[in-house]
Amino acid sequence: MNYLIYFDGSNKIDQFNKEFSYYGAYSGTDKDLAKLVKQIRKIFLNCNSSSELHFREYKKDYHLKKYLQTLHKVINENIRINILIVNNEDAFSSADKIGLSATELRNLFYIKIPERLFYGLTRDLSHIGNNTDLVQVKIKIDSNDEYDKLFLNEKIIEQMNAHSAYRNKNYRVTKVISQDSKKSIPLQIVDTFMGIVVFLLEESYLENTDRSIVKSDLIYRFFSEGNNINRFQHQIRLF
């Protein structure tokens, strides 16, 4: 059995003008995600749009139909999205107490945060197949030069497999690769849902700007359809 995890970040901790930073991970079996991606590509085709889903770049409602149909499709699947929120001021204050520089803290967090999110998605993989089946995990991370400099991919493999062996789990991380989000619909899904969470938590809907109004309208329409708001609250977990 193959299991895929996709990871992205928003307002990263090294962006010192932000109060919080956010990191999200989205997962599923390779077969389930392949089926979902095929269905979303069909939505893109029917909407005559091939542009990337990107919540920050959603400034006009030209692609409202595409976003609504995609969000509705995804949230009504058996998805799992974990989002970890970091108070940047608290993090740097803690680092200062033990003599860590901002660069050292950033480097440590870039390793610890993805590992923590991924472990949250893999610790109960026994529900996939038989308890004795080995689940092979592949992780795909949105391309980032900082991650490459830290050899993040290799370190995640090492730490995740250490977790699995130590806790007697049935998964093994076989590969961690960087991927351009423009070529990855699952990474675009992470970005869009995390963007909605950030928008709501930071109360950006209170801003009296065209961009805020357009985003608010998208979220309102999405939540108003079917049971979407309840599924959103149930299937997206914040830490």
**What pLDDT is stored for residue 221 in this prediction?**
97
Across the chain, mean pLDDT equals 89
Q: How far apart are CA 36 and CA 56, in angstroms?
A: 23
Tens digits of per-residue pLDDT, 122-152? 877 766 655 567 899 999 998 877 777 788 8
2-238 adopts what CATH topology?
Nucleotidyltransferase; domain 5 (3.30.420)
Between 145 and 118, the more confident residue is: 118
**What pLDDT is stored for residue 174 in this prediction?**
95
End-to-end CA distance of the chain: 28
Band (167; pLDDT cuts 50, 70, 90): confident
- pTM strictly above 0.75: yes
**What pLDDT is stored for residue 129 in this prediction?**
55
List the strands of the sheet with 135-142, edge to edge.
171-179, 135-142, 2-10, 20-29, 80-87, 236-238
- Delimit the domains of the chain by residue range: 2-238
Q: What is the mean pLDDT of residues 66-73?
A: 97
DSSP, collapsed to helix, strand or coil, labels residue 36 as helix
Among 148-152, 191-195, 206-210, 225-229, name the one with the lowest average pLDDT. Answer: 148-152
